Amino acid sequence: MIKSLKISKKLENYIAEHSYELNPVQKEIINHNEKMGSQKKMQISVTQGYFFQFFIKSFNIKKVLEIGTFTGYSSLTMALALPKNGHITCLDKNKTTSEIAKNFFTKAGIQKKIDIFLGPALDNLIKLVNDKKKFDMVFIDADKDNYKKYFDLSLKLINKKSFILIDNVLWHGDVIDRSKNDKFTNIIREFNSFVKNDNRVEKIILPLGDGITICKKV
């Protein structure tokens, strides 16, 4: 039995060739991010994007909240899978990357489906909770220090049977390396233990990209 495969760049390309077609603007964002040096790592992987699209279509998701948008790859990818009346609310504090993302959304013709709320995500999440907004799916991909707070607030923003997806939960594999005791590895470890013991959600960790947890509110 093969326990798990190491996904090489070649294998990732093979998966890409046998999954959905990338939209030209998705390709443009990938090329743009490639030129950003170490920041390019911020973007979700292409395989994760395919998974999101399949997930959104399979669970009839219409309203998405994204916490952490960067230059817009994940939000554009999700928007392309949403139905005509679907919508994404994006939260990010970086004005420059948010402007870049907005330009890409316009170029792809999906700008009406996406709003970006600029500012600290926590403030905007609290506003959304106070305004009694509800989403079918929340994608958490911003600062790791606030993951637990984002998770708790996100739970207030979804109904039962709706989803929260969280990126980077395997933290380059460091979560199992006991010699790694830096701040962020420990934050992710604590977050994963917290989610495991949280009986408000069903959950599974998938080894896609940098590791993604899928939670369903019970």
Ligand X SMILES: C[S@@+](CC[C@H](N)C(=O)[O-])C[C@H]1O[C@@H](n2cnc3c(N)ncnc32)[C@H](O)[C@@H]1O
- Residues in contact with ligand X by the rule CB under 6 A: 42-44, 68-71, 73-74, 91-94, 97, 120-121, 141-143
Helices 147-156 and 121-130 pack at an angle, to 10 degrees, of 20
CB atoms within 10 A of CB 12: 14
Indicate the residue among 98 and 162 with the shorter CB distance to ligand X.
98
Taking the complex as a whole, how short is the minimal distance between the CB of residue 130 and ligand X, in angstroms? 17
Indicate the residue among 28 and 92 with the shorter CB distance to ligand X.
92
Taking the complex as a whole, how short is the minimal distance between the CB of residue 140 and ligand X, in angstroms? 9
Which of 92, 89, 91 has its CA nearest to residue 65?
Answer: 89
59 with 73: CB under 8 angstroms? no
Taking the complex as a whole, how short is the minimal distance between the CB of residue 199 and ligand X, in angstroms? 28
Taking the complex as a whole, how short is the minimal distance between the CB of residue 100 and ligand X, in angstroms? 10
CB atoms within 10 A of CB 181: 10
Distance CA 23, CA 26 (A): 5
Indicate the residue among 71 and 192 with the shorter CB distance to ligand X.
71
Indicate the residue among 97 and 192 with the shorter CB distance to ligand X.
97
Distance CA 190, CA 181 (A): 12
Taking the complex as a whole, how short is the minimal distance between the CB of residue 179 and ligand X, in angstroms? 25
What is the distance of C-alpha 202 from the center of its chain?
A: 18
157 with 89: CB under 8 angstroms? no
Taking the complex as a whole, how short is the minimal distance between the CB of residue 135 and ligand X, in angstroms? 16
Indicate the residue among 158 and 166 with the shorter CB distance to ligand X.
166
71 with 33: CB under 8 angstroms? yes
Indicate the residue among 145 and 202 with the shorter CB distance to ligand X.
145
